[in-house]
Amino acid sequence: MAQTETATLGGGCFWCVEAVYQRVKGIESVKPGYAGGHTKNPTYKEICTGKTGHAEVAQIKFDKNIITYEQILNVFWQSHDPTTLNRQGNDVGTQYRSAIYYKNENNKKIILASKEQYQKELNKKNLGLIETEIKMIDTYFYAEQYHQQYLASPGSRQYCSASPTKVKLKDFAGSNYKLNDHVWENFDWEVDKCVLRSDNNPIKNYI
């Protein structure tokens, strides 16, 4: 029986976050939306002004019998650049900030542990400090229908603003953050500003 848990993550444009996670085994749904701000039921037009306080995020529902919250975070850190403040690639603004929103203290501990470890890996490459916003929230607003599965839609603009550092979050004592290298073979790390160039088929048998 599936045991569903939810993660709410922002890594630049929500199209990019959705495109990455909708292919990962154990993910039940990925829904682009808005979180972290103060305006109720914001529209995309309002979000783009930067006045609502919200970030573009994706709400990810996953079966924790198949993939853990820790492994969800492993994908998160490596699929964008968390060291850039209020931007990802060519997309600039507070709505494009790196963000992790959680609902319980146990998840907070996991988030902070993974952040600390990833910062250590970034330091080895002389990269910057992680700017990811991490906070507890209790509201999430779904984005307009035309934003759902945008990059998987026929005729969509195959562009993703995410700019991964190409630094891996390695395994460390007491963690199970590491994913099989097979996962990363499905992403084109050589293409700047784009973590995903593929047919959107699910990645299978990677754990």
DSSP 129-157: ----EEEE----EEPPGGGTTGGGSTT--
Angstrom distance (rounded) from CA 20 to CA 148: 13
Q: How many residues does the chain have?
A: 207
Domain architecture of the chain: domains with CATH: 4-186 (3.30.1060.10)
What three-state secondary structure class fits 107?
helix
What is the pLDDT, as a whole number, of residue 151?
A: 65
Quote the DSSP letter at residue 65: T
What is the pLDDT, as a whole number, of residue 178?
A: 62
Rg (Cα) of the chain, in Å, rounded? 16
Instruction: Please state the φ and ψ torsions of residue 33, each to the nearest 5 degrees.
Output: -170, -160
Joined together, the tokens standing for residue 200 give 């959107």
What is the pLDDT, as a whole number, of residue 8?
A: 97
In the block, tokens 């902070």 appear at 112
What is the pLDDT, as a whole number, of residue 183?
A: 63
Closest Cα to residue 77, out of 55, 57, 100? 100
Q: 120 CB contacts (<8 Å, ≥6 apart)?
A: none
Q: Is the dihedral of CA 83, 89, 95, 99 positive or negative?
A: negative
Q: 102 CB contacts (<8 Å, ≥6 apart)?
A: 8, 108, 111, 134, 135, 136, 137
Joined together, the tokens standing for residue 29 give 């749904």
In the chain, the N- to C-terminal Cα span, in Å, equals: 19
What is the pLDDT, as a whole number, of residue 206?
A: 42
Query: pLDDT tens track of the chain, all 207 residues?
Result: 779 999 999 999 888 888 888 878 889 999 999 999 999 999 999 999 999 999 999 999 999 998 899 999 998 998 899 999 999 988 999 999 999 999 999 999 999 999 999 999 999 999 999 999 999 998 999 988 877 776 666 666 666 778 888 888 877 666 666 666 666 666 665 666 555 554 555 544 444
48 is catalytic: no
> Over the range 28-52, which residues count as b (16 or more CB within 10 Å of their CB) and which as e?
eebbbbbbbbeeeebeeebbeeeeb
